[in-house]
Amino acid sequence: MKNFIQPLKILSACGIIFTFIFAIWFVDDRYISAEEMSQEKKKIYLKINIGEYRILTKQYYDYVGLVKANPESKELKDGLKGIKTERDKIKTKIDNMLENGK
């Protein structure tokens, strides 16, 4: 019987040690560092800006079509200028994010 209990104790001790190691590893992987968090935030903001740029581009071309259909409308021309200005700002922001990581 002693020959059976001794290896069982060793295996149990190894199992407990491995359990603690894997538990610490699991808990450590759940959390991210501040650097990883800032990188993820930058990626999210970049995705938001790209989505906004796409929406503004679609609006820009919709307004171009409307201005061609109604060339005398000052309101449409002002709206087109506003959209173009906002679109250029977003494009500059995206370019800065990609170049500098800001």
- pTM of the model as a whole: 0.66
What does the domain layout of the chain look like in residue ranges? 1-31, 35-102
In sequence order, which residues have a C-beta less than 8 Å from that of residue 53 and are 6 or more positions away? 87, 90, 91, 94
CA-to-CA distance for 96 and 28, rounded, in angstroms? 33
Supply the angle between the helices 34-69 and 74-100 in degrees, to the nearest 10: 160
**CATH number among 1.20.120, 3.40.50, 1.20.1420, 1.20.58, domain 35-102:** 1.20.58
Q: What is the pLDDT of residues 54-99, one digit of tens each?
A: 999 999 999 999 999 988 988 988 999 999 999 999 999 999 988 8
SS3 32: coil
CA-to-CA distance for 38 and 79, rounded, in angstroms? 36
- The more confident residue out of 26 and 69 is 69
Asked if residues 85 and 51 have their Cβ atoms less than 8 Å apart, the reply is no
